[in-house]
Amino acid sequence: MFEQHLKHTQTCSACPSLCQSVCPVHVNTGNKSFAPWGMMQLLQGVAEKDVPFSPEVAAVSYSCTTCRACVEQCEHEVPIPSILEDIRNMAVKEGKAPEEIQGFLEKFHRHNNPFSKDLLQRLKTLVPEEILSKNTSVVYYATCTSITKCPEIVQDTFSLFKKLKIDFVSLYADPIQCCGYPLYSAGAHYDFVDLAEINYHSLKKYKLIVTGSPACAWTLKEMYAKYDFDLSGKVVTINEFLKPYLKNINFKVKRNIRTKLMYHDPCYLSRYLNEADLPREMISGVSGYAPIEFHDNHAHSQCSGQGGCYSIVNKKSADEITKKRLNEVYEKKVKTVVSQCPTCIFKMRQNSSGLIVRDVISYLNDSIQGTVDE
Ligand code: SF4
Ligand code: SF4
């Protein structure tokens, strides 16, 4: 495992750590051991048998939010997050993963989601029964984080569909469980494949799968295909799905909508899926104003600190990264942040004071009154 990445660890060894300034973990901790360069040095030591693969070494592989900021910066395109995910896989297999990860995996397996909740029961409380039971070829795949932590995203999505007269989408519920991304990220790759197989066989009958979270979209589109569960031609983000409707339908915008807001790019949307412009176009198409930008934006955006299981092992640091990201919002005297990842949104709410944090779809639903013929 370590040997197969030797080429990359050697590339990093010869580099003056050019990506450390964009790594949220390094910036927050100030510890070079947690910069991509430092982690690759350690892994090279293991590959060359100078350092044993101990639980302490395994723990270092979880010092990463998998945000891909370093990949964006690196002229050699060293795939740091993928390398670390391989090491995490080895850590789980050898029982060397941190106890927080082992506890997380046990919790996950109770209901096949990270929150150990019965998601179907939750969904039944969120939307009218007909949205769950409608027989359609197009389904909305609600992420488990939205269902449990930001349920208004699911409700606002169907409210917006109704306002735009989109009546041919049902809420996927058979069986509703996590897409498996957190399992993969934690290093439980075999368990991820088992879950992906079940989801694939349930989802493949649909013509279109509309996803409410970029991490789910990327997992269903890209990760499943890697294991021969190819749904890539059927999976779209909610933005891709809504784009033609917002372009072609004449809709009325409410009076007094929020126009002064900042948009935070989720890593999985802007870097993994390369979809940074579309949410901005949707916001400005409704409000008439471009969102105010963070200093680092689009593919060079800063991570909120909460991805890639980093917060499971390093909660304090993850929350500090989120707070630092939000400092710019206070400095610019803006009161509303809009984003499109339920984890970013939930954690920004937890780590802020006096801010309104909304999903793009909730913002559109807040702003759109209905079609002009109503
Ligand atoms: S990932 Fe790229 S930029 Fe970062 S230390 Fe390695 S070679 Fe340098
Ligand atoms: S993926 Fe993000 S958190 Fe991980 S090493 Fe690269 S920049 Fe740092």
- Ligand 2 atom nearest to 267, measured from its CA: 2
Cβ 161 vs Cβ 167: under 8 Å: yes
- Please identify, among 243, 260, 294, the residue that sits at the C-terminal boundary of a domain: 243
The residues pairing with 338 across neighbouring beta strands, listed in sequence order, are: 263, 358
- Could you tell me if 343 and 274 lie in one domain? yes
Collect all residues with Cβ–Cβ distance below 8 Å to 53 and sequence separation of at least 6.
2, 46, 90, 94, 96
Segment 70-78 mean pLDDT: 94
Secondary structure letter of residue 288 according to DSSP: S
- Could you tell me if 91 and 115 lie in one domain? no
Distance of CA 294 from the midpoint of ligand 2 (Å): 19
Cβ 251 vs Cβ 372: under 8 Å: yes
- Could you tell me if 197 and 264 lie in one domain? no
Is residue 81 in contact with ligand 2, taking CB distance under 6 Å?
yes
- Domain with 65, as residue range(s), is 3-97
- Could you tell me if 360 and 279 lie in one domain? yes
Q: Report percent pLDDT > 90 for the chain.
A: 90
Test site for ligand 2: of 12, 63, 66, 322, most ligand atoms within 8 A of the Cβ: 66
Residues 267-280 pLDDT 10s: 999 999 999 999 99
Q: Which CATH number characterizes residue 172's domain?
A: 3.40.50
Give CA–CA dist 66/85, Å, rounded.
9
Is residue 64 in contact with ligand 1, taking CB distance under 6 Å?
no
- Could you tell me if 208 and 135 lie in one domain? yes
Going by DSSP bridges, is the β-strand pair 368-371/251-253 parallel, antiparallel, or unpaired?
antiparallel
Other residues' Cβ atoms within 10 Å of the Cβ of residue 241: 19
Count of residues for the chain?
A: 374
- Could you tell me if 173 and 234 lie in one domain? yes
Is residue 305 in contact with ligand 2, taking CB distance under 6 Å?
no
- Could you tell me if 120 and 239 lie in one domain? yes
| pLDDT level of residue 374 (50, 70, 90 thresholds) | low
Is residue 291 in contact with ligand 2, taking CB distance under 6 Å?
no
Give CA–CA dist 160/148, Å, rounded.
20
Residues 90-114 pLDDT 10s: 999 999 999 999 999 999 999 899 9
pLDDT at 372: 85
Is residue 24 in contact with ligand 2, taking CB distance under 6 Å?
yes
Residues 232-279 pLDDT 10s: 999 999 999 999 999 999 999 999 899 899 999 999 999 999 999 999
- Could you tell me if 296 and 183 lie in one domain? no
Give the containing element (helix H, strand E) for 257.
Answer: none
Cβ 55 vs Cβ 72: under 8 Å: no
The residues pairing with 169 across neighbouring beta strands, listed in sequence order, are: 138
Q: Which two tokens stand for residue 228?
A: 């021969």
- Could you tell me if 115 and 198 lie in one domain? yes
- Could you tell me if 199 and 231 lie in one domain? yes
Q: Which two tokens stand for residue 334?
A: 């803006």
Is residue 231 in contact with ligand 1, taking CB distance under 6 Å?
no
Going by DSSP bridges, is the β-strand pair 292-293/262-263 parallel, antiparallel, or unpaired?
parallel
> Atom 6 (ligand 1): residue with closest C-alpha?
12
Q: Which two tokens stand for residue 287?
A: 């409000």
> Atom 2 (ligand 2): residue with closest C-alpha?
67
> Atom 4 (ligand 1): residue with closest C-alpha?
19
Segment 281-308 mean pLDDT: 96
Is residue 282 in contact with ligand 2, taking CB distance under 6 Å?
no
- Count of CA atoms in the C-beta half-sphere (13 A) of 359: 26
CA angle 290, 295, 299 (to 5 degrees): 80
- Could you tell me if 182 and 155 lie in one domain? yes
- Please identify, among 219, 243, 267, the residue that sits at the C-terminal boundary of a domain: 243
Task: Give how many domains the chain has, as a whole number.
Answer: 3
- Could you tell me if 107 and 159 lie in one domain? yes
- Please identify, among 60, 82, 97, the residue that sits at the C-terminal boundary of a domain: 97
